[in-house]
Amino acid sequence: MLAPKLASGAKHRRAPLYALSGWVKLSGTPSKDPAASPLLSESLDLSGLNGNAVVSIQAKASHVFAESGTVTVTERRQGQAVPPTVLKSGTLYSRTGNEKASVSAHPASAFMQSVPKPFLDPIPARTDTFKGRAEPPAKVLGDLTYADATPWLGAELPVRTLLVTHWKAQLNPDLRAGLTSHIRSHPEWDRVLFPEKYLPVNAASAASAPATRP
């Protein structure tokens, strides 16, 4: 997800990128805004990136490798942040399931073998390649189906709440049917799907009363 602004307790989290799962390679320098983050996820947030970092966000494990420079990892448990860890160049942060995270002075061979091959080399900046080019037309992918949305509908609460705002205008029959059938798993959609439940008592009574002729 690009540029989300997530409400989380008393603090707001924002970053250019939110990763639900997968691999990300980041390059950067520290932001002037101490609250800014280059990457957010359910299991960890990054900040203070000064160099290159390779991040893996998977269902049961998360890893951050400080390829060069330094980066700060703020672990998240049940939606709450724990004291941050600063990684120095060459160190690896690893967390599996609910176990306590560990930091290794050198990345394990198993981790290095799992890194996508393009991420093993420096990724050159390609901004100049696209300067002056016309923006290509948007490609229509079709309606958002419930099956497509399901991974995001199971994300952490701040993400799910944000998606209600983004997706309520895209309630096609398939997405509506899926949400309605599994509403216990998606309580944040209840007000959108069943607005009549949230009407004032008098208004709800009037809405349900049969029409009469004068």
Q: What is the pLDDT of residues 10-42, one digit of tens each?
A: 578 889 999 999 999 999 887 777 667 899 999
Mean of the per-residue pLDDT values of the chain: 89
- Contacts of residue 98, Cβ cutoff 8 Å, sequence gap at least 6: 77
Name the pLDDT band for 211 (thresholds 50, 70, 90): low
The confidence band for 9, taking pLDDT boundaries of 50, 70 and 90, is: low
**Which residue did the predictor score with more confidence, 115 or 37?**
115
Angle ∠(161,164,165) on CA atoms, nearest 5: 100
For residue 51, how many C-alpha atoms fall within 13 Å in the half-sphere facing its CB? 17
Strands 80-81 and 44-57: unpaired
Burial 50-86 (b: 16+ CB within 10 A, else e): bbbbbbbbeeeebbbbbbebbbbbbbbeeeeeeeebe
Q: CA nearest 145: which of 177, 181, 97?
A: 177
- Report the alpha-carbon distance of residue 25 to residue 11 in Å, rounded: 26
Going by C-alpha positions, the residue among 164, 210, 169 that lies closest to residue 187 is 164
80 with 72: CB under 8 angstroms?
A: no
DSSP result, 4-57: -EEEETTEEEE-SBB-SSEEEEEEE---SSTT--SEE-SSEEEEEEEEEEEEEE
Report helix, strand or coil for 161: helix
For 5-121, CATH gives: 2.60.120.1440
Domain parsing of the chain, residue ranges: 5-121, 146-208
Q: Give 136's Cβ-side CA count (13 Å radius).
A: 4
Flag whether pLDDT at 204 surpasses 70.
Answer: no
In the structure encoding, which two tokens stand for residue 29, read together?
A: 């320098």
Mean pLDDT of 96-124: 90
Would the pTM count as exceeding 0.85?
no
Q: Write down the pLDDT at residue 182.
A: 97
